Every structure is written in C-alpha cells, then in structure tokens.
C-alpha cells in the first residue's frame, strides 16, 4: 500500500505505515471510500439529532427561513426600501436566504471540524475529511427540505399572481453546478478556518461576524443592479455574488447571469480547495497536541 | 517461523509544554522555513530533553514524551505495556492509533489495527442504543453490513437487549460502557490495542471483558497490546511486557520480571530512613534507623501483590550497652482503623538475637504475604529484659512505614479478589451433590 516500501521488497509487506510527514496534497481516496458508511452515519446523526427535544421538531427546518424572510421584508423591504428588482419580496428574499444559508452553514459547520470534534479525534482514527464532508452532505439535505418551501412560494407567485417572473428554464442545469461550487467553497474556507482555529482561537469569535459580513457583500437582500461604480467592481470579486445572482436570474428572471463571473467562481473555488486540503492535511496530523 | 506484525523504529514524539501563545506564529514560520524550504532539522526540536517530570516545565519548553522507542511484536503475542503516569504509555497508544503523528520514527503494521482508547466513541446521547452501535462501529472502521450481521451478538454481549430503542442518555453509565465495549469486542481486528478501558464497569463485567480479551488473544490468535495499571490483568493476560520510563523503553521481556521491575521502579523514594525526629517512645539504648521492603528479586519495593514473597528489612543502631539475649523485637501490621491484623514477636518464635556491635539489621522473610489488598501501617518495637510491657520499651515507632498490598489473583482466575477482609488463605472449596 505504501510506495516507500518498494525499496525493501523482501517479506516486508506492511499494511499500514505511520510516519511523521506526508505529502501536502495527499488525499487518500481509498481510505475515505472505505469509511463511506461513517459518512452516512455522521449525516444521519446530525439530521436526527438536530431538533431532538424541541416541541416543533423538524418544523424548524421551515420556520427558520420563514422568520428570516419576514424580518427582511420588514427591515430591508419595508423600512430601508431596498429594491428587489421588481420581484415579489417573499420570493426574492426566500431564494436568496435558502441558497445563501446552504453556503453559510457549510462554512460555519466545517469551520468547527477540529474543535467541535476534538474528543472523537483524540480517541480514534478515521479520515478526518469525512467530518467536513458529512457537514456539507447533511446541510445539503437540509437545503433540499427547505427548497421545497421555496418551490411552494414560487408556485404561488408564478401561477396565482401576475408577478413578472420569467424563469430561464434552459439554464436550470447550471443550478447543480452552483450548488457544488457553494458546497466546496464553504468546505474549503471552513477547512482553512477550522485548521487555523486550532492554533489561533481568536478566529472562532470572528466566525459569526465573518459570515454576516460576507452576506452583506453578496447580493442576497439586494439585486446586483443596485450597485454602481466601485461597489460593483468590488462585488464582482466576491465569488459568491455570481452564484446568488445567477440563481435569481435562473429561477426568477431578475438580475444578470454572468458566465465569466461563474467561471471565475469555479476557478476561485478550485484554488481555495487546494489550499484548504493542504492546510487541513497538515493540521489533522497532530492538531490534537495543540487544541 | 514467527511473523512480525508490528515494527516500531526509533519512534519519538516531541511535545511543547506551557502555553502556546505569543511568538508561536513566528516560530511556526521559522520552523516551516528551516524544515520545508531548507530541509534542515526542526530548530525547536533540539531544546527538548528527556521527559523528566520532576522538573518544573518552563513556558514554551519542548519535551520528549517518547524517545527512540524500538519494538517488534510477533503475531499472536499479547504484550502488556506498563509504566508510571507520564512514562509515555498514552503517547505510544496515540501514535499507534494515528490520533497524532510521530515527530520522528516509523511504525509499520500488518493487518487491520484497531485501537481502543475509550469505549463508546461517538455515542450521541439523543440516539438510540441501536443507532449508537452503528455510529460507534463505523467510527472504528466497520462497515454497516458487518455491524448488522453481528448486531445480535453485540446486543447479547452488552446485555441491553431491552433498551435497544431507548436513547443512550437514559442509560446508566455502566450500560453505556458495556454497549461500547461490546461493539469493540466484535471488531475482530488482527491487531488490537487496548487502553485501560477495562478499569470501568462492575466486577462481573470486568470478568466478562477480560475473558473476551483472553479469547481474542489466546483462542483466536490475535495480537494484542494492552496498557494497564492493573498488574493482575497484565499478569493474567500478557506473555510479554514492555516497561516505559520517562519516554524510553526500560525493559522488554517476560511479563513477571517486567512487573517486578515496575513495582520496584515505583518505589525509589521509599528507602525511608527513620529520622530521630520521628515520633517514638522508649529508653533509647537502641534506635531503629531504617525500614524497607524487598520482593522476590531482591528489589526494593513499597508495594507488593497479595500472595507474593515479601522481605521486610529494618536497620538499627546501638547507642549504649544492653542485654541482647533478653531483647524482644515485634512488628505489627495495622489497618486504617488501627486494628492489628498481623504480628510477629521474636520471643514467641524463639528467635536468637545476635550481638550487635554498632549497627544491626532485622530481616523478616514472608514466603507469601496472604494479606488482602489494602494499606497497612507498620509499627515496630524493641523491648528489653524479656518483657513486652510499656516500661521496658527500648524503641517504638507506631507509624514506621506503610505497606501497600495490591489485590492478587489468588484463585488463578484472571482477576483480582473482591476487596474486604484482611487475610486470604489458599484453599479449595467443593460444592457438590451428596448422593449418599
């Protein structure tokens, strides 16, 4: 199984070699694959324990985005009077919230990988990447449940009102790609942050603030068309902006779909993913000594 | 031909002591520069010295928790790892279980390796017993199908069949431990590394757990590495032992001699001189100056396993003339309540006492110390003129020293006796049907 042992071929046929250093970009896919059942169990665990001992139980999946939407309608739509590009406010905010939440929960979920699981990591070995992967999968399930509500709101406005909704059905296949980009971007940033919080704990205090700030730098509660001049250039470099704006373009027909922006997001995610893996690999080896 | 399944070469682990605070980022960059870019040795590794915990650690100091450990374990061997707290046992286990990575050195293993540093890792209190079996099993690397196949056996072994669909938070702590151990017991790895998890649970469960470990090691021929403070479990399970001290291997070898070196290692401080200030009575022609214990290998110890050979050495000095033929020496073993549970008095044993010029020695040899596991205060006394009364005391010390007796496996059943009572005497009991 290990290349380095080819030099000492005779009778030395080890299954496992524990060494101080490994390659920076070493993802042991076979190892991860052999632990796929653990991934399944972690996802199951987080889903079934999420709302245990709450009165409303799984209803919270729906209540949270609805409450957020109501707040946005009052604050941003009602008081601040921020434009929704002519879209019905509930639909505009709901689509933004649900897609943004998927990214945000992937990011904050994985950023807690090392500290939140120190007790397990300190006792048993398994490919550590299983943990953040399970976070993005279980959040995806949450996303699917919540998007059912988005569909209901969409169906209401599309069929029963005269709102000007012109979905670009021909681009619907882009949505899964966008979800994948969001998942991996959240995962990558989360991995970097979780690795850094093991040493510099200050970051865990910053986490909530960072997510909040990122949301305002992304066209979740406002359309991109609202921005002018240096703000629009600035926001162009936010890889999440193209995703959220693109989603609204595809399902509502508002805003703009920027192919070069999407390509930029994909390349950005790829690079940040590589960096994330390197940092994560370096940390997982002996973070237990510093945490 | 023997088959080496674990090979440890020059294994070391460096730990940083004290607060990892300011300056660590700078050091990180410096280390990264020298090791990764320039390919030199870690500049901070040289600061560390051997793990001696008696010294006060300075902030930011580095210490070798494990230093140049070399070991080979053969297939089917049951190796007991012992050592004082901080000797490096846990570090060795952590390295073997890949929880953390070594600073230098390599560990190579053959076959599936499972480490049991804790039972029930990953248990979630909100999930049911059944769900937690799957959770814990998959964490330890089992497939779900595999667990499903063994589920009935696991549930039966844990004895929690009735509560399979109850959340684990409603379990007693004993039930949780049983469930956790049961999953681990059916892991069926080629190499099993076990920490002192057996120290938990009630006596009955401990017996079951030890029995299972015996089955695994002897019956199924698997390799087991077992870390414990319990010398009985080590003695009854293991064929070979490894003694760690200050992060280095002190001895590897036959388990009994390892245990006896461990017990003597534990008691370096106990060559306790009886200073003149110690509370004592008597006329003072002679004084006790020292008391200590030796085991069957003539090593100084301060604890002994119930049933083992014990020597008590007492040194004394003469200050003025006294009639030696009429001296009486007595030693009393007292429990915490002050009850005398055992005594030796030389006049009733008709011991002849040699003339002492300046310094003398009393040696008491006990082939088997049949005391139960407990701490015993030793009182020693010297009387003159052949009378044991208070007025004829030459020297008397009531709390001369403490003898720690550890419960032994007197009945040869692989576990310690139940605590209680003072003495235990080898005997045989038959319970049978009376046909006549």
**What CATH number does the domain located at B271-406 have?**
2.70.50.60
How far apart are the C-alpha atoms of A98 and B71, rounded to whole Å?
A: 56
Please report whether residue A48 resides in a domain.
Answer: no
- Indicate the domain borders of chain B: 68-263, 271-406
For residue A41, the chain B residues in CB contact (below 8 A) are: 134-135, 138-139, 144
Contact A20 B111 (CB under 8 A): no
- Binned at pLDDT 50, 70 and 90, residue A8 comes out as very low
Please report whether residue A51 resides in a domain.
Answer: no
* Per-residue model confidence (pLDDT) at position A244: 92
- The CA distance from A11 to the nearest CA of chain B, in Å, is 10
- The CA distance from A123 to the nearest CA of chain B, in Å, is 6
pLDDT at B58 over 60: no
Mean pLDDT of B93-97: 87
Chain B CA closest to residue A118: B99
From residue B70, alpha-carbon distances to B65, B73, B102, B249 in Å are: 14, 10, 13, 8
For residue A222, the enclosing domain spans 56-289
Q: For B197-223, write each residue's pLDDT tens digit.
A: 665 666 677 777 777 777 777 777 788
Please report whether residue A35 resides in a domain.
Answer: no
Mean pLDDT of B386-391: 81
* Per-residue model confidence (pLDDT) at position B21: 46
pLDDT at B189 over 70: yes
Q: Specify the higher pLDDT residue, B2 or B382.
A: B382
Please report whether residue A33 resides in a domain.
Answer: no
Q: Which pair of structure tokens corresponds to residue B88?
A: 């490096």
pLDDT at B48 over 60: no
Chain A CA closest to residue B145: A37
How far apart are the C-alpha atoms of B287 and B280, rounded to whole Å?
A: 9
Q: Which of A14, A16, A52 sits opposite B126 (nearest CB)?
A: A52
Chain B CA closest to residue A283: B100
pLDDT at A5 over 70: no
H/E/C letters for each residue in chain B?
Answer: CCCEEEEEEEEEEEEECCCCCCCHHHHHHHHHHHHHHCCCCCCCHHHCEECCCCCCCCCCCEEEEEEEEEEEEECCCEEEEEECCCCCHHHHHHHHCCCCCCCEEEEEECCCEEEECCCCCCCCCCCEHHHHHHHHHHHCCCCHHHHHHHHHHHHHHHCCHHHCCCEHHHCCHHHHHHHHHHHHHCCCCCEEEECHHHHCCCHHHHHHHHHHHHHHHHHCCCEEEEECCCHHHHHHHCCEEEEEECCEEEEEEEHHHHHHHHHHHCCHHHCEECCCCCCEECCCCEEEEEEEEECCCCCEECEEECCCCEEEEEEEEECCCCCHHHCEEEEEEECCCCCEEEEEEHHHHCCCCCCCCCEEEEEEEECCCCECCEEEEEEEEEECCCCCCHHHEEEEEEEEEEEEEECCCCCCCCCCCCCCCCECCCCCCCCCCCCC
How far apart are the C-alpha atoms of B168 and B51, rounded to whole Å?
A: 40
The residue behind tokens 């007790």 is: A119
Number of other residues whose CB lies within 10 A of the CB of residue A118: 14
- The CA distance from A117 to the nearest CA of chain B, in Å, is 9
Give me the half-sphere count of Cα atoms (radius 13 Å) on the Cβ side of residue B163. 18
For chain A, the domain total comes to: 1
Q: For A174-195, write each residue's pLDDT tens digit.
A: 999 999 999 999 999 999 998 8
Least reliable range by pLDDT among A81-85, B46-50, B328-332, B370-374:
B46-50
Mean pLDDT of B179-186: 86
| Collapsed DSSP state (helix, strand, coil) of residue A17 | strand
CATH class belonging to B68-263:
alpha beta
Residues of A with CB under 8 A from a CB of B: 12-21, 34-35, 37-38, 40-41, 44-45, 48-49, 52-53, 120-126, 199-200, 285-286, 288-290
Nearest residue to B123 (alpha-carbon basis) of A289, A119, A40 = A119
Please report whether residue A11 resides in a domain.
Answer: no
């Amino acid at each position: 199984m290990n290349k380095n042992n080819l030099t000492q071929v005779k009778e030395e046929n080890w299954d496992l070699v524990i060494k101080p250093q490994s390659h920076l970009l070493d993802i042991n896919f076979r190892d991860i694959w052999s632990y796929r059942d653990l991934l399944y169990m972690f996802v199951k665990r987080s889903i079934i324990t999420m709302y245990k001992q709450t009165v409303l139980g799984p209803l919270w999946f729906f209540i949270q985005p609805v409450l957020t939407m109501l707040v946005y309608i009052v604050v941003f739509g009602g008081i601040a009077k921020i434009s929704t590009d002519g879209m019905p406010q509930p639909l505009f905010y709901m689509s933004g919230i649900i897609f943004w939440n998927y990214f945000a929960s992937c990011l904050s979920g994985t950023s807690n990988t090392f500290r939140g699981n120190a007790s397990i990591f300190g006792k048993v070995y398994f490919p550590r990447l299983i943990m953040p992967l399970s976070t993005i999968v279980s959040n995806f399930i949450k996303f699917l449940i919540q998007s059912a509500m988005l569909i209901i709101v969409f169906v209401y406005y599309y069929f029963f009102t005269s709102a000007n909704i012109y979905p670009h059905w021909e681009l619907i296949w882009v949505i899964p790609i966008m979800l994948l980009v969001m998942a991996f971007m959240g995962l990558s940033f989360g991995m970097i942050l979780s690795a850094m919080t093991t040493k510099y704990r200050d970051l865990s205090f910053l986490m909530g603030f960072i997510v909040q700030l990122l949301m305002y730098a992304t066209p979740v509660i406002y359309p991109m068309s609202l921005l002018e001049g240096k703000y629009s250039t600035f926001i162009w470099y936010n890889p999440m902006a193209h995703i959220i704006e693109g989603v609204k373009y595809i399902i509502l027909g508002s805003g703009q779909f920027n192919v070069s922006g999407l390509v930029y997001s994909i390349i950005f995610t790829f690079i940040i993913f590589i960096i994330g893996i390197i940092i994560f690999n370096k940390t997982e080896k002996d973070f237990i000594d510093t945490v | 031909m023997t088959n080496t399944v674990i090979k440890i070469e020059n294994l070391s682990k460096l730990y940083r002591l004290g607060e990892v605070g300011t300056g660590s980022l700078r050091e990180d960059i410096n280390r990264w520069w020298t090791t990764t870019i320039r390919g030199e040795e870690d500049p901070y590794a040289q600061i560390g010295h051997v793990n001696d915990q008696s010294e006060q650690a300075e902030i930011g100091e580095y210490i070798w928790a494990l230093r140049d450990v070399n070991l080979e374990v053969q297939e089917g061997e049951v190796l007991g790892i012992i050592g004082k707290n901080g000797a490096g046992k846990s570090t060795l286990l952590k390295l073997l279980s890949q929880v953390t990575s070594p600073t230098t050195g390599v560990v190579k293993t053959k076959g599936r390796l499972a480490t049991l540093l804790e039972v029930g890792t990953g248990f979630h209190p909100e999930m049911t017993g059944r769900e937690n079996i799957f959770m814990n099993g998959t964490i330890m690397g089992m497939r779900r199908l595999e667990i499903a196949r063994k589920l009935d056996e696991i549930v039966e072994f844990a004895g929690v069949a009735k509560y399979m669909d109850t959340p684990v938070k409603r379990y007693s702590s004993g039930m949780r431990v049983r469930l956790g151990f049961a999953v681990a017991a059916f892991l069926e790895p080629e190499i099993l590394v076990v920490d002192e998890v057996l120290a938990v649970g009630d006596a009955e469960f401990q017996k079951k757990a030890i029995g299972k470990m015996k089955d695994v090691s002897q019956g199924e021929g698997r390799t087991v590495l077992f870390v414990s403070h319990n010398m009985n479990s080590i003695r009854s399970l293991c064929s070979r032992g490894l003694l760690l001290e200050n992060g280095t291997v002190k001895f590897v070898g036959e388990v009994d001699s390892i245990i006896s070196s461990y017990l003597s290692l534990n008691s370096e401080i106990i060559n306790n001189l009886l200073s003149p200030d110690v509370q004592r009575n008597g006329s003072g022609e002679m004084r006790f100056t020292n008391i200590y214990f030796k085991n069957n290998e003539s090593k100084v110890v301060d604890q002994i396993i119930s049933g083992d050979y014990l020597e008590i050495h007492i040194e004394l000095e003469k200050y003025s003339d006294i009639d030696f033929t009429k001296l009486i020496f007595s030693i009393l073993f007292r429990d915490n309540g002050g009850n005398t549970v055992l005594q030796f008095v030389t006049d009733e044993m008709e011991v002849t006492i040699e003339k002492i010029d300046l310094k003398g020695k009393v040696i008491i040899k006990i082939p088997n110390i049949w005391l139960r596991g407990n701490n015993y205060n030793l009182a020693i006394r010297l009387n003159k003129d052949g009378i044991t009364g208070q007025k004829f005391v030459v020297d008397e010390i009531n709390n001369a020293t403490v003898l720690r007796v550890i419960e032994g496996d007197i009945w040869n059943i692989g576990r310690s006796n139940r605590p209680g009572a003072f003495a235990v005497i080898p005997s045989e009991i038959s319970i049978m049907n009376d046909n006549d």
